[in-house]
Amino acid sequence: MSDHRIPKRIYYLIFATLLLFTMITVEVAFYDLGILSFPVALGIACFKSTLVILYFMHVRYSSGLTGLFVSAGFIFLAILLVFTLLDVKTRDWQFQPDESGISLVVPF
Amino acid sequence: MSNTVAVASHPEPDNNYWTAGYGLKSWLLTTDHKRIAILYLIMISVFFVIGGLFAVLIRLELLTPAGDLVSSDTYNKLFTLHGLVMIFFFLIPSIPAVMGNFLIPIMIGARDLAFPRINLLSWYVFAIGGMTTFAVVLFGGVDTGWTFYTPYSSTYSKTAVGLTAIGVFITGFSSILTGLNFVVTIHKMRAPGLTWFRLPLFVWAHYATSLIMLIGTPVVAITILLVFLERVFGVGIFDPALGGDPVLFQHLFWFYSHPAVYIMILPSMGVISEVVACFSRKRIFGYGFVAFSSLAIAVLGFLIWGHHMFTSGQSILAGMVFSILTMLVAIPSAVKVFNWTATMYKGSISFETPMIYVFGFLGLFTVGGLTGLFLGALGLDVHVHDTYFVVAHFHYIMVGGAIMGYLAALHFWWPKITGKLYSEAWAKLSAIIIFIGFNLTFFPQFLVGYLGMPRRYHVYPDEFQIFHILSTAGASILAIGYAFPAFYLIWSLFRGEAAPANPWNAKGLEWTVPSPPPKHNFDTIPVVKEEAYDYSRLEEEVV
Ligand code: HEM
Ligand SMILES: [Cu+2]
């Protein structure tokens, strides 16, 4: 919990890492990675925010309960994304009545 | 028993929270959770009156099939402001910010919430959000409906959508701060011996509510902010012309706003548990189930938002999944209703005012919940979506359920909060007027909705008029019913008899402190040795 247990060195180290990855983000933007460019950008962003949450927000040094609450936030974010994508990605699926009841026509 | 009465009959003059300080400053800068609750009570009462005035105008306009009282544009603004004020500025804060604020610390044997200053901050944030909404009215109003659907809100509406968005955004933070405060308080500040399963169910309900506030509110705040950004800076999120998706707005909005309906009903359910136990003189049947059903509602509530979007262009598959999941949320709600009923079974029931409101709640919430299941059925909803059937459904739950619970709470804890007794006769009379007025207002709306009357229109075919006349007549009765408490409660402040510490002979820590409670609630922090609602033991002591 308290600040005193975490050496200043750690903060500087994390800060440096964040700066480094910011430079990597910029650098990567100049390469065409095809379909990979999106996952790579997101991956870097996730890594950086994890560092901020764990160290700058002290979650690493806090109780399990705090950790639980933090993860709950992400679980619900995942719910938001999954169900929204469930709609967006299946909009052209067709359900057609036929002799056997209803059949699903998926366009791929 | 006898010693609590003794405490109450010798209240130390400077010791209670009303007399602990005088002058406006002592109220506006207070960090006492009880005073902040009073500040909230005053503010939401003002909003309730304002929201009610909009409703009066809506009902008057609908008396005739022609659009004669107000123009179509004005009508759009009226129902928008009615919804906005009632939902964001009355129902969401009602029970948590007033009753929860006042009672949670006392119920768990604490001297205040975990963060008293954040509590005060939340009230100021709420006030600023409220003022912003007043400003919207001055700038000509807003006409998007409380749901802010895009692309109308983001691209086409010529009204003060931006300012409204800011107002709702700000208000959201007061809700987040309250939720945060409650969660930390309930985790950290329970009195010795007060384990989770000894907590009053009111506290469990508020815990679940707070989780929804914490998880959901940031999403709606950002969503509304995105509408603002798109309107003002043309950022392409929702407008297809800019590469956005208008249906995305509905996903983000309902991700919060479906769970938000449980922010409005869960605290009410907590109240019902307290009142049912007290006036049946019994421990709540299936305590654990009632407690966990609150959490189940909070979690399941986040999985079903798509039932608001069956006709929005959402994919059929998603519609089917949301429809099935919607059926699940009825289970925990039903668990509660059945358990309350079972609590009354063989109880020794008495019909004081709070209990009358509980009966109102049970019947009306059941109608509201069951019609919710009709609406959740994908096929049926295509027929009744955006009709008065939906309007009737949610008013049965929000007015019939949530406000009945709020009034039950107000009457149950009024003697505790103010130290004064109100007139039972008047209170019972108005409870009955409210029940009758409510049903006359909203039941015809199920019928006219089923017959095809769309919501949010003020010109309609002649054959629907009879239903609207009934509804407006009911609303007039309802208004009288709501006006009564305002008078006899305020009257009781000045002329009411002094309330003893425990006027209902109820269980719970809040009834062990004098009415009104002393500034710091407890001189010595109590040690809890028994379960909640141990009425059987109380009965033995009294006999
Ligand atoms: C038993 C659980 C419930 C179910 C299954 C349910 C289901 C539904 C469905 C399917 C709709 C969409 C209807 C449509 O627009 O066509 C709806 C609308 C609505 N429900 Fe419920 N509901 C439930 C409980 C509640 C509760 C507890 C509240 C409030 C406290 C509530 C408030 C609303 C509101 C405000 C709307 C309309 C929103 C709008 O479009 O303006 N519902 N409900
Ligand atoms: Cu819903």
- Angle B519-B121-B515 (CA atoms, 0-180°, nearest 5)? 20
Residue B541's DSSP bridge partners are none
Pairwise CB contact (< 8 Å): A80 & B255: yes
Q: Give the per-residue pLDDT at B393.
A: 97
Pairwise CB contact (< 8 Å): B251 & A80: yes
Q: Which atom of ligand 1 is nearest to the CA of B327?
A: 5
Ligand closest in space to the Cα of B381: 1
> ipTM higher than 0.90?
no
Q: Give the per-residue pLDDT at B538.
A: 62
Grade residue A93 by pLDDT with cuts at 50, 70 and 90: confident
Which residues on chain A are in Cβ contact (under 8 Å) with B257?
Answer: none
**Cα B401 vs. chain centroid, distance in angstroms?**
9
Contact B449, B371 (CB under 8 A): no
Residue nearest to atom 35 of ligand 1 (CA): B394
The reply to whether omega before A39 is within 30° of 0 (cis) is: no
Measured CA to CA, the distance from residue B218 to residue B383 in angstroms comes to: 33
Q: Give the per-residue pLDDT at B11.
A: 46
* Residue ranges per structural domain of chain A: 1-62, 64-108
The answer to whether residue B301 neighbours chain A at the CB level (below 8 Å) is no
Residue nearest to atom 32 of ligand 1 (CA): B394
Q: For a substitution probing ligand 1, which of B94, B307, B445 has the most ligand atoms within 8 Å of its CB?
A: B307
Helix ranges (DSSP H) in A1-108: 8-28, 37-51, 64-88
**Residue B489: closest CA among B403, B431, B447, B402:** B431
Pairwise CB contact (< 8 Å): B315 & A79: no
Pairwise CB contact (< 8 Å): A95 & B316: yes
Of B183, B215, B318, the CB nearest to A86: B318
* A104: phi then psi, degrees, rounded to nearest 5: -100, 130
**Residue B249: closest CA among B161, B316, B171:** B161
For B421, the token pair is 């007794």
A106 pLDDT higher than 90: no
Q: CB contacts < 8 Å between A and B, how many? A: 50
For chain B, which ranges sit under pLDDT 50? 1-12, 543
pLDDT, tens digit, 9 for 90 and up, residues B386-426: 999 999 999 999 999 999 999 999 999 999 999 999 999 99
* A105: phi then psi, degrees, rounded to nearest 5: -110, 110
A1 pLDDT higher than 50: no
Report how far apart, in Å, the C-alpha atoms of A5 and of each of A18, B295, B362 are.
22, 36, 54
Q: Give the per-residue pLDDT at B539.
A: 59
Label residue A103 exposed, middle or buried (CB < 10 Å: 0-12, 13-18, 19+): exposed
Which chain A residue lies closest to B310 (C-alpha atoms)?
Answer: A87
- Give the side-chain half-sphere CA count within 13 A for B7: 18
Contact B163, B251 (CB under 8 A): no
**Residue B186: closest CA among B297, B83, B105:** B105
Write the DSSP string, B173-194.
HHHHHHHHHHHHHHHH-PPTT-
For B6, the token pair is 């003794």
Which chain B residue lies closest to A94 (C-alpha atoms)?
Answer: B316
**Cα B233 vs. chain centroid, distance in angstroms?**
35
Domains of chain B: 32-542 (1.20.210.10)
Contact B417, B516 (CB under 8 A): yes
Measured CA to CA, the distance from residue A73 to residue B216 in angstroms comes to: 9
Query: How close B176 gets to chain A, by Cα (Å)?
Result: 13
Which residues on chain A are in Cβ contact (under 8 Å) with B317?
Answer: 86, 90, 93
Q: Which atom of ligand 1 is nearest to the CA of B375?
A: 10
Of B247, B302, B321, the CB nearest to A79: B302
For A66, the token pair is 């705090």
Q: Give the per-residue pLDDT at B20.
A: 85
pLDDT, tens digit, 9 for 90 and up, residues B114-169: 999 999 999 999 999 999 988 999 999 999 999 999 999 998 999 999 999 999 99
Greatest pairwise CA separation for chain B in angstroms: 76
Residue nearest to atom 23 of ligand 1 (CA): B372
Q: What residues contact B2, with CB distance under 8 A and at least 6 apart? A: none
Helix ranges (DSSP H) in B345-423: 353-376, 378-384, 388-395, 404-418
Query: How close A19 gets to chain B, by Cα (Å)?
Result: 27
Measured CA to CA, the distance from residue B473 to residue B380 in angstroms comes to: 29
Q: Which atom of ligand 1 is nearest to the CA of B307?
A: 10
Q: Which atom of ligand 1 is nearest to the CA of B311?
A: 16
B376 alpha carbon to ligand 1 midpoint, in Å?
A: 8
Contact B388, B357 (CB under 8 A): no
pLDDT, tens digit, 9 for 90 and up, residues B243-283: 899 999 999 999 999 999 999 999 999 999 999 999 999 99
Which chain A residue lies closest to B245 (C-alpha atoms)?
Answer: A88
Q: Euclidean distance between the first and final Cα of chain B, in Å?
A: 11
